[in-house]
């Protein structure tokens, strides 16, 4: 039953990805100002949205871990697994943003990169979460999860700054398409393909987030069992 549900979800997600690609390449009209290069928006913006969402998952997981680590150790492990999964999958999506963005910028602005507010704060966000993953990978000892949780909360503070950066500081990056100044928004003919791609990337993201969570839970169970066996062997 569980396998069938996973298979069905994966099939729906793949169908949505194919449909989203078709919408982005063949249904959405060419942008009057930017031309063909505008089509990067269908991968760039959904990836940024999903990255923000998963960093929020990591934030909640980190808060959960710090709240429950003494009172409910089992709940704390679950929260920690969500925190790690959110951070790692968020980094993958943020990497997509930081690679598709310069490709778009090169054609639209004539430059690969500039130290504008939106680009710089996004790079800082990515670096914070990469350091979170490095801490979890290479540090050892009983305090690693606690330190990682604190760093996870600290990193999440950058998310609203990234989101607001092109509202607070008008530098190179364009003003927000959604929720921006009066007159901002997207033409109906482009909005449909955009929303399909948002849905497709959200479903894909949730799929790999849950997979990453399960891998971490399995890892925790194996580590716990090994520690238990080592204890019993010493008795």
Partner 1 sequence: MDQAAVLDHEFVIAAYIITWVLQLGYLTYLAIKWSAEKRAAARRTSSLR
Interacting residue ranges for partner 1, rule: CB under 8 A: 21, 35-37, 39-40, 43-44, 47, 89, 92, 95-96, 99-100, 103-104, 106-107, 204, 208, 211-212, 214-215, 218-219, 221-222, 225-226, 229
Secondary structure (H, E, C), 1-66: CHHHHHHHHHHHHHHHHHHHHHHHHHHCCCECCCEHHHHHHHHHHHHHHHHHHHHHHHHHHHHHHH
For 104, counting Cβ atoms within 10 Å of its Cβ (0-12 exposed, 13-18 middle, 19+ buried), the class is middle
**DSSP code, position 176:** P
Q: Which is nearer to partner 1, 143 or 228 (CB)?
A: 228
Query: Nearest approach, Cβ of 112 to partner 1 (angstroms)?
Result: 11
Q: Of the two residues 189 and 214, which places its CB atom closer to partner 1 in the complex?
A: 214
Q: Which is nearer to partner 1, 66 or 97 (CB)?
A: 97
* DSSP per-residue codes, 50-79: HHHHHHHHHHHHHHHHHHHTTT-HHHHHHH
Q: How far is the CB of 92 from partner 1 (least distance, A)?
A: 5
Residue among 18 and 157 whose Cβ is closer to partner 1: 18
User: Residue 202 Cβ, how far from partner 1 at the closest point, in Å?
Assistant: 13
66/101 with CB nearer partner 1: 101
Smallest distance, partner 1 to C-beta of residue 118, A: 18
- Cα 185–chain centre separation: 23
């Amino acid at each position: 039953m569980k396998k069938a549900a996973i298979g069905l979800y994966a099939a729906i997600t793949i169908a949505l990805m194919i449909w989203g690609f078709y919408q982005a390449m063949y249904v959405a009209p060419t942008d009057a100002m930017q031309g063909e290069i505008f089509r990067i928006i269908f991968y760039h913006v959904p990836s940024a949205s999903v990255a923000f969402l998963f960093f929020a998952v990591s934030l909640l997981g980190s808060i959960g871990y710090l709240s429950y680590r003494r009172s409910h150790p089992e709940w704390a492990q679950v929260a920690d697994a969500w925190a790690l999964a959110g951070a790692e999958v968020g980094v993958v999506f943020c990497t997509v943003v930081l690679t598709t963005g310069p490709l778009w910028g090169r054609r639209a602005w004539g430059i690969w990169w500039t130290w504008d507010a939106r680009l710089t704060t996004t790079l800082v966000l990515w670096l914070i979460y990469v350091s979170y993953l490095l801490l979890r990978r290479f540090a050892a000892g009983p305090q690693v999860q606690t330190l990682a949780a604190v760093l996870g909360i600290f990193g999440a503070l950058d998310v609203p700054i990234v989101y607001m950066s092109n509202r607070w500081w008008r530098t190179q990056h364009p003003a927000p398409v959604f929720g921006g100044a009066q007159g901002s928004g997207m033409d109906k003919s482009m909005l449909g393909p955009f929303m399909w791609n948002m849905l497709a990337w959200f479903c894909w993201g949730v799929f790999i987030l849950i997979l990453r969570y399960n891998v971490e839970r399995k890892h925790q169970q194996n580590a716990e069992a090994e520690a238990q066996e080592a204890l019993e062997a010493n008795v």
